Structure 1
Amino acid sequence: MAPQQQAPWRVTMFGGGRGAASIARRLLATPGAALTLLINGYDNGLSTGALRRYLPGMLGPSDFRKNLLLHLDAGDPRLALLERRLPGGATPADLGRLIDELAAAGPGLEPIVRDLKVFAARLAARPDGLDLADCALGNLVLAGAYLRLDRDFNAAVRACAEMFGSPVALENVTGGENAYLAAVKADGTLLADEADIVGPQSAEPITGLFLLREPITGPLTGPLTGPLTGTELARRAATITPNPRALAALRDTDLIVYGPGTPHSSLLPSYLTPGVAEAIAGSRAAAKVFVVNLRDDHDSQGLTAADLVGRTLTYLRDPGNERGTVTHVLCHGRTLPPRAGLPGARWVAADLEDERRPGTHSGARTVEALAAVRAGTSLARAG
């Protein structure tokens, strides 16, 4: 049954920066569908990492910025503005002149200008420590909102969602505590931060993820034995709390979707959040669907769909799927892949790829498949 024929339904989807964007956009265009996106803020690469170092305590804003813009048409000037990156050699004075230009551009940009001014004031007071080169303007807007709202990251995300008129309920999965992601591979190699996790690496699989109070620097970096690495990283663990809004969205929803994306940075770390596994187990959702990636990322090379589903279940503390953490696995293709099978879950094969963008999910086809899963599950329960 096509989504347009469905009764109103709530969808709560775990995602990252762009992996699930086509699915989210299609859900926004689906009558009756209300979407909550659950994201983590552990991004620490390049200009995002530089911004986090400049503002200690702040999570990475990039994935939130990308999802705040999902509803904007390609011709919307706010989209180009917030995705605009400052050039190499940009100075605080250059940023100030740009803000003045935006302030003079006319109505509609006042909230953006306000928060950019907040950030610019901080930069004027402490000009050292941040290279503005390649910084996305939208990240600086989020940073300004973060400073304006007493360094409350989740409040900044909500304020920016309202600023941009986003119809998505975009929630950080945690309470906003600062944390840094690290990983260990099977041979004991340490991936010291999120940028290493998503970057080129050996074919050895990642076997452990850690959320740390502080970024790793100094002699801990580099190849180490597994036990030594695990013990030391566990000692440095950050204290994380759940975002109550995220837990409520998981409990009170019709469909939970474990969206596509970079597994070991965008998705699996979110499942480490206390309370998330319990909220999923107690959810009223008719179905809990794992959407398989269409291609490997650097961090998932050599891992099959079954492997990634298994890791999801392990991180959600339901390795045998006894609590029904995953009810369906949705994969692209005409036939099921080898090793398709999981206690308590049904594997579904469908044509999910966007023909115009190979390796990317077609939003229309994937949402249609999700709607069919939900409808079939609801009918089965009713029968």
Structure 2
Amino acid sequence: MTKLKAVALGGGHGLHATLTALKRITGDVTAVVTVADDGGSSGRLRREISGLLPPGDLRKAMAALAGEDDESRLWTSLFGHRFGGTGALAGHAVGNLVLAGLLEQLGDPVKVLEHASKLLGVRGRVLPMSNEPLDIEADVTGLDEDVNDVRRIRGQVAIATTPGLVRRIRLTAPNGRPVGCPDAVQAVLDADLVLLGPGSWFTSVLPHLLVPELHDALVRTRARKALVLNLVPQPGETAGFSPERHLDVVCEHAPELKVDAVIADVDSVPTPDRLTRAASALGARTHLARIAAPDAVERHDPEALAGCLRQVVDETGMGGTSPWR
């Protein structure tokens, strides 16, 4: 399966899960990473350095695709190391600082990630969804005495932790309209398989659909497209969401998008018939399997997820033609 061109869109731990699974079935993997994080080390660096892409999710994606030799393992470990103590460096990951420094030196985020990826022996490619940092706004209900009142909140952390119900999100950019990274857009157009999810639905998954160039590429690409659902609802932004509600939200934000497969853990879907109906609204078939890690129900098992992805690829060849180019 080394000829399969796969692209995974997302951020954080969810993207790490799909990348770890994908590299088991192909050596041609591109990660397209959200750039709206405003928390932790990334958020601090964004506030201190104007125009900086939040580096944390980019660093995690590189770690997922990093090489297995001793040199690559050393650099990957170093990039993930966080400073302790209580000083100015406390809590910062070394890799975040390296990426921030490279960006000031080179200016081009794509070149920065190429150079850093060489250090980590990355097998594949890591790209930002936009070459400029973005912010997320959300319409939220349930925060006021009248539960139907809509309040607008701003920022990835605020949205991810809101006690209210997120209704809709938007992206904002320094120059108004978010612009997709051209390399990321082309990767989606050239792909054989495109994955969205799992991850924080409103702050890691849906933002990709709101970048106009990426949205258009996802609609136009001839690739097989699959949505990978979370194993458990995310506290805050999707608390109380059923699996099918996740798909409804995708339809609401990107009504033109059609996908081929919806992948979910069989034990995370209490009413499979409802999920099947919601998936059909996206043009998709459901694929239920045991893909949770045996020792952690909230974490995907990379080998099991890879097996499910192989099945999706085998079953969704267009017009019966070979899925390989």
State TM-score, norm by structure 2.
0.86
1:227-266 matches, within 5 Å, as 238-266=176-204
Contact 1:24 1:35 in 2 (8 A): yes
Cα displacement string for residues 57-116 of structure 1 (whole angstroms, at most 9, x for unaligned residues): 1121100011111225597222332112122333xxxxxxxxxxxxxxxxxxxxxxxxxx
Distance (whole Å) between structure 1 residues aligned to residue 216 and residue 17 of structure 2: 28
Counterpart of 1:47 in structure 2 is 41
Q: How many residues align?
A: 305
Residue ranges of structure 2 left out of the alignment (5+ in a row): 142-148
Distance (whole Å) between structure 2 residues aligned to residue 307 and residue 279 of structure 1: 24
Q: Percent same amino acid among aligned pairs?
A: 24
1:1-383 matches, within 5 Å, as 6=1, 8-30=3-25, 32-70=26-64, 71-73=66-68, 76-90=73-87, 131-150=88-107, 152-174=108-130, 176-186=131-141, 187-199=149-161, 201-202=162-163, 204-213=164-173, 238-285=176-223, 287-297=224-234, 298-318=236-256, 325-333=258-266, 337-340=272-275, 341=277, 342-343=280-281, 344-378=283-317, 381-382=320-321
Cα displacement string for residues 234-259 of structure 1 (whole angstroms, at most 9, x for unaligned residues): xxx83221111111111111111112
Q: Could you say what the CA RMSD is over the residues aligned between the two structures, in angstroms?
A: 2.3
3-state SS in 2 of match to 1:59 = coil
- AA at the equivalent of 1:278: D
Distance (whole Å) between structure 2 residues aligned to residue 253 and residue 178 of structure 1: 25
3-state SS in 1 of match to 2:292 = coil
Deviation at 1:380, TM superposition (A): 5.6
Please identify the structure whose Cα radius of gyration is greater: 1
Cα displacement string for residues 133-185 of structure 1 (whole angstroms, at most 9, x for unaligned residues): 211111000000011013x33332232123322112111112x1232222221
Distance (whole Å) between structure 2 residues aligned to residue 213 and residue 380 of structure 1: 40
Distance (whole Å) between structure 2 residues aligned to residue 63 and residue 46 of structure 1: 11
Counterpart of 1:222 in structure 2 is none
- Residues 74, 192 of structure 1: CA spacing in aligned structure 2 closer, same or farther, 3 A cutoff? farther
Contact 1:242 1:275 in 2 (8 A): yes
Contact 1:179 1:213 in 2 (8 A): yes
- Residues 63, 193 of structure 1: CA spacing in aligned structure 2 closer, same or farther, 3 A cutoff? same
Residue ranges of structure 1 left out of the alignment (5+ in a row): 1-5, 91-130, 215-236
- AA at the equivalent of 1:140: L
Distance (whole Å) between structure 1 residues aligned to residue 304 and residue 133 of structure 2: 37
Deviation at 1:295, TM superposition (A): 0.8
- Residues 134, 263 of structure 1: CA spacing in aligned structure 2 closer, same or farther, 3 A cutoff? same
3-state SS in 1 of match to 2:37 = coil
Deviation at 1:12, TM superposition (A): 1.0
- Which structure features the higher share of strand residues? 2
- AA at the equivalent of 1:59: L
Contact 1:12 1:255 in 2 (8 A): yes
Distance (whole Å) between structure 1 residues aligned to residue 22 and residue 189 of structure 2: 19
Distance (whole Å) between structure 2 residues aligned to residue 363 and residue 350 of structure 1: 13
State TM-score, norm by structure 1.
0.74
Distance (whole Å) between structure 2 residues aligned to residue 243 and residue 143 of structure 1: 18
3-state SS in 2 of match to 1:360 = strand
